[in-house]
Copies of this chain bind each other. A is one copy, B any other.
């Protein structure tokens, strides 16, 4: 918000990032990553943990990745996804309401 009215392009971009987060399955996924000391997890653990199919997990990870909220790291056959805390800070900063001018 940052005290000035959003331009269309900024509104579109911010909406895109927020949409990436605005899904229960992705929020659970993100919270699982956030609970790890290294902020990351192996894809292989997620379908069971989230109780959705493997392709569905893959889909959600792509959405988060496209929005810049997670990084992808390949390790042999396995793939690890890790939260990008800067991206979350950027998001929270973008939706912060300034103190009313009193």
Contacts and interface: CB of A to CB of B under 8 A. Distances in A.
A18 B25 CA distance: 13
The residue in A23, A27, A30 that gathers the most chain B C-beta atoms within 10 A of its C-beta is A27
A90 to B, nearest CB: 11
A56 to B, nearest CB: 15
A3 B101 contact: no
- Interface size bracket, A side: 35 or more
Interface core residue of A15, A21, A34, A85 (most chain B CB under 10 Å): A34
Interface of A: 1, 3-6, 8, 11-12, 14-15, 18-19, 21-25, 27-28, 30-32, 34-35, 37-39, 83, 85, 88-89, 91-92, 95-98, 100-101
